[in-house]
Amino acid sequence: MSTRADFAMFFMMLALAQAPSLAAVPAVQKQYQLVNPGPAGFTLKLADAAVRTPVANEVLVRVRAASLNRRDIYVIDGQYPIGSRTSLVPLSDGAGEVAAVGPGVKRFRVGDRVAANFFQSWVRGNPAADTPTTALGGALDGMLTEYVTLNEAGLVKIPANLSFEEAATLPCAGVTAWNGLVTRGHTQAGDYVLLEGTGGVSMFGLQFAAALGAKPIITSSSDTKLERAKALGAVGLINYKKNPDWEKSVMELTGGAGAQHILDVGGKDTLPHALASLGSGGNLALIGGLGGFGGDIPSFALMGRNASAFGIYVGSVENFEAMNAFIEKHKMKPVIDRTFDYQDAKGAFDLMRSGDFVGKIVIRINGI
């Protein structure tokens, strides 16, 4: 018969099994920081930083990989609002494993594979007025670090079919494309979906559209990139350098109907063409500003088509979890152009700045 001592020993061993990493977590880590802001922006520096022990409802994550978005170039160049901060850990996107949990944590255990939500406070429903103040890699320190301590509410479990590197691509570009096409766009099989360029948002949009049975059309200035998009399921390819009035090509490809869904990542340079490409009852998701933010949307351009235009600024934990379930169900694999070692993080920023890539750029951390 088991004794009280036996039960005590059992629970002590169980606790040790669930928290072996506490002893393995170092007191000091290597962390990238943006420092010395000036007219040309910040300097990227690898520095020593303390590893913060999680307190109530917090989780310590050993970061295994992080990925870049165009926003990260705006941040390092000093062109993105981050308040009065004079230093910042960059990057909103990262994935890793739970190394330790604080008191009261219920959603995660040591060893769970997780990713951080872009907005730490946006769990479900509509965003609150102060949601932008909880954005990682902007208002808050981000994910280009060996360890990060976050509230459990701002984390999600990653799809079982993805590696840490693949999961690190999801928080910004993936959730943005998902909300544009699914949460708010309600894309249906057979719909034409127009995607601009071959960056992270557009590649996720292409994959989501193809998995939904929709018909993706993609634009690029590179025929080589267009061929890569074709291999992922694009049914229409438009080189906008060769066809500057590319809305005409969209209309030809759709038999004059136009696109039911458009993810506009170009901003003021692409918006007029996107509006001219929009079909009756269609949805135009306003997402980015690669060609500059701004542009006008004439009301009649929407009214005459019974169409809608809406802004997308990433999304909630609830959106992230719904997307992850879809990715796992359809066995999707994010498109990664190149993976950099942690010591060469600057190279990842240089590639992002160049625009010479397809999909996502990843930085490997903590020796995957």
Residue-wise pLDDT for 178-202, tens only, equals 999 999 999 999 999 999 999 999 9
Task: Give the integer Cα–Cα distance in Å for 38 and 12.
Answer: 53
pLDDT over 60 at 205, yes or no: yes
Q: What is the pLDDT of residue 136?
A: 98
- Condensed to tens digits (0 to 9), the pLDDT of residues 65-100 reads 999 999 999 999 999 988 888 899 999 999 999 999
Structure pTM? 0.91
Q: Which three-class secondary structure state does DSSP give residue 181?
A: helix
pLDDT value for 72: 97
Residue among 264, 288, 280 at smallest CA distance from 195: 264
Q: What are the structural domains, with CATH classification, of the chain? A: 13-173+334-364 (3.90.180.10), 185-311 (3.40.50.720)
Higher pLDDT, 289 or 132: 132
As a whole number, mean pLDDT of residues 296-323 equals 93
What mean pLDDT do residues 114-121 have? 98
Please report the pLDDT score of residue 21 as a whole number.
Answer: 42
Mean of all residue pLDDT scores within the chain = 92
Question: For the chain, how are helix, strand and coil distributed in percent, rounded to 5?
Answer: 35, 30, 40
Report CA-CA distances (Å) from 215 to 70, 113, 155, 186, 254: 26, 33, 32, 14, 9
